[in-house]
């Protein structure tokens, strides 16, 4: 909603506000309004827009200590911490925000962060853009370079998030509060399990770990995209000069060339990434040449964009055995069912979801899968 400048000036004059105050307020509001950001003057104003008590908002972010929220216990629950096993090795710590905190973060996401323009090369966690859109620029390439950023969310600290809101035009004290409500510290055990070499690369010292973007907060993907916008812009400009293709999906950077195009050398790529305060996961730097397997964000790109043959065969195999032995028989065989837990309905949704994913990438390949899926006797009762 556009800021009501005329109404503000009229009201301010009625209250005998100084011309200096009026001009300063208009200047502040104008910068935000022109960029389609909501005009917010303070934490109290933000809380009012959200429909919550400002004292509760301040209590959630722990500032200042003199504020107390009388209707809540002394310690307010902010995040539920749990671990998820990664595909290959190790764990990632998920920080799931409380119901109230999630409401606040969603408001910030929808009303502030999603108003921010991003670079075209940014393909991750954006409405109407999928992993297929990320893979398409690299279709049928002669050479693909894949780079992963090291601990992407963990390198985006509260201070960097403060910079996002400050650059939008929000007052310093408000930007501080917005940064605090969208970041959180890991448990110490998380940092303890990270190799010292990685901590040294990130510049983090023992017992001095900052609040970072929580995996699980609705604001984190968009904030990460905004922080990485300058990185994307620099690679886009370089791609225009050298003629290569570049996209980024979260922490996955992909560079590709065809014909006479040139790929930047790794030394230059490292410098740009380092300049923007990110770090390369050296174990995941890969060159994929024409004639071999080429894939981007899980999709094959060598002969058009497709899901891998192995993936399609796995889904087809589940359907085949469900039809041959029955759903419960198949689940029992793969160890997904026991006496206490009936897994038929969740498995139905899981399998159908994978078929729909295949359809979104390759509709023709999904036709037979959907036809065979419809012939399974699910016996939900």
pLDDT band at 306 (very low <50, low <70, confident <90, very high): very high
Question: Tokens at residue 182, please?
Answer: 């969208």
What is the percentage of the chain residues whose pLDDT exceeds 90? Answer: 70
Q: For the chain, give every domain's residue range.
A: 308-373
11-41 per-position pLDDT tens digit: 888 888 999 999 999 999 999 999 999 999 9
67 pLDDT exceeds 70?
no
- For residues 40-65, average pLDDT: 86
pLDDT score recorded for residue 98:
92
What is the percentage of the chain residues whose pLDDT exceeds 70? Answer: 92
Pick the range with the lowest mean pLDDT from 79-88, 90-99, 234-243, 286-295: 79-88
145-166 per-position pLDDT tens digit: 999 999 999 999 999 999 999 9
pLDDT score recorded for residue 339:
44
DSSP 81-102: EEEEE-SSSSEEEEEEEPHHHH
Asked if 97 and 216 touch (Cβ cutoff 8 Å), the reply is yes
Pick the range with the lowest mean pLDDT from 91-100, 251-260, 278-287: 91-100
Burial of 24 (0-12, 13-18, 19+ CB in 10 A): exposed
pLDDT score recorded for residue 332:
86
Asked if 139 and 152 touch (Cβ cutoff 8 Å), the reply is no
Place of tokens 């036809």: 371
340 pLDDT exceeds 90?
no
pLDDT score recorded for residue 303:
87
The rounded distance, in Å, linking the Cα atoms of 87 and 284 is 14
103 pLDDT exceeds 70?
yes
pLDDT score recorded for residue 46:
96
| Chain mean pLDDT for the chain | 90
Asked if 213 and 161 touch (Cβ cutoff 8 Å), the reply is yes
- For residues 282-309, average pLDDT: 94
360 pLDDT exceeds 70?
yes
pLDDT band at 282 (very low <50, low <70, confident <90, very high): very high
87 pLDDT exceeds 80?
no
pLDDT score recorded for residue 2:
81
260-278 per-position pLDDT tens digit: 889 999 999 999 999 999 9
- For residues 125-132, average pLDDT: 93
Asked if 184 and 211 touch (Cβ cutoff 8 Å), the reply is yes
Pick the range with the lowest mean pLDDT from 3-17, 157-171, 245-259, 289-303: 3-17
The rounded distance, in Å, linking the Cα atoms of 133 and 94 is 27
């Amino acid at each position: 909603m556009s800021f009501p400048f005329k109404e503000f000036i009229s009201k301010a004059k009625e209250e005998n506000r100084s011309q200096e105050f009026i001009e300063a307020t208009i200047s502040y509001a104008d910068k935000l309004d022109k960029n389609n950001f909501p005009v917010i003057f303070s934490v109290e104003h933000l809380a009012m827009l959200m429909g919550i008590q400002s004292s509760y908002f301040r209590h959630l972010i722990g500032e200042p200590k003199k504020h107390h929220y009388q209707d809540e216990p002394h310690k307010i629950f902010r995040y539920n911490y749990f671990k998820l096993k990664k595909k290959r090795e190790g764990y990632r710590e998920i920080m799931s925000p409380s119901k109230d905190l999630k409401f606040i973060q969603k408001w910030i996401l929808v009303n502030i962060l999603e108003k921010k323009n991003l670079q075209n090369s940014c393909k991750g966690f954006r409405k109407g853009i999928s992993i297929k859109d990320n893979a398409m620029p690299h279709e049928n390439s002669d050479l693909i370079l894949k780079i992963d950023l090291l601990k992407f969310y963990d390198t985006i600290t509260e201070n960097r998030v403060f910079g996002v809101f400050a650059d939008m035009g929000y007052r310093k004290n408000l930007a501080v509060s917005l940064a605090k409500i969208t970041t959180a510290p890991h448990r110490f055990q998380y940092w303890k399990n990270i190799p010292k070499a990685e901590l040294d690369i990130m510049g983090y010292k023992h017992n001095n770990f900052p609040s970072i973007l929580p995996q699980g907060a609705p604001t984190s993907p968009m904030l990460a995209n905004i922080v990485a916008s300058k990185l994307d812009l620099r690679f886009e400009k370089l791609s225009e000069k050298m003629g290569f293709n570049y996209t980024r999906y979260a922490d996955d950077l992909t560079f590709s060339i065809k014909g006479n195009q040139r790929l930047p050398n790794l030394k230059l790529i490292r410098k740009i990434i380092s300049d923007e305060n990110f770090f390369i996961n050296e174990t995941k730097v890969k060159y994929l040449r024409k004639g071999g397997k080429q894939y981007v964000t899980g999709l094959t790109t060598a002969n058009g964009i497709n899901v891998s043959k192995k993936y399609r065969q796995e889904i087809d195999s589940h359907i085949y055995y469900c039809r041959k032995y029955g759903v419960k028989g198949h689940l029992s065989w793969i160890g997904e069912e026991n006496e206490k837990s009936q897994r038929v309905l969740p498995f139905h949704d899981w399998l159908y979801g994978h078929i729909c994913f295949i359809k979104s990438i390759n509709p023709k390949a999904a036709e037979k899968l959907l036809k065979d899926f419809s012939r399974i006797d699910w016996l939900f009762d």
